[in-house]
Amino acid sequence: MALICDTSGIYALYDADCFEHSVISAVCEAEIGPLLLPVILLAEIDYLLHSRLGPDAAIDFMQAIQQEEFTLVPLLAQDLVRCRELAVQYRDLEIGLADATVAATAERLHINRLLTLDQRHFRTIIPRNLAPFILLPADVP
């Protein structure tokens, strides 16, 4: 199976002081399928790593991408249309482009498993033509 990564999941993977770091790391290590990362999240992840953890964390993240530890998923025009629909539909939650992209990518690829700590948004979003999202690590049995 594959797992679609959200910014919060990737950030926790790199922040050893994050409460969820060890469980996020365990989920990633146990995953037998690819860790899919919507390309639009790269700048947001880089910014958070740089600003909160320093340049070494950001450089480590770039190296992981180079070593194909993550599979980058491009943003398609149809994803952007869906992102706007989600932003309008969930206006009260203030769904941003990053979270909307994760949801749109999941729908397009028919993958409902997300690596995220953002339960507020992803428990609320009802995916189109897909079972409700499974949020890892929260939904680990």
Predicted pLDDT at 141 = 73
What gap in Å lies between CA 109 and CA 88, rounded to an integer?
A: 22
Q: Tell me the three-class secondary structure of 75-88, residue by residue.
A: CCHHHHHHHHHHHH
Q: Whose CA is closest to 46, among 70, 13, 75, 11? A: 11
Tell me whether residue 74 is in a domain: yes
CATH number of the domain residue 56 falls in: 3.40.50.1010
Tell me whether residue 141 is in a domain: no
Tell me whether residue 107 is in a domain: yes
Predicted pLDDT at 1 = 86
SS3 119: helix
**pLDDT tens-digit map of 115-125:** 999 999 999 99
Tell me whether residue 28 is in a domain: yes
Tell me whether residue 11 is in a domain: yes
Predicted pLDDT at 35 = 98
Predicted pLDDT at 140 = 84
Residue 16 CA, chain-centre distance (Å), reads 18
Tell me whether residue 117 is in a domain: yes
Domain count for the chain: 1
Domain that holds residue 83: 3-136
Per-block average pLDDT, block size 10, for the chain (141 residues)? 96 97 97 97 98 98 98 98 98 96 98 98 96 96 73
Q: Which tokens in the block code for residue 24?
A: 């996020």
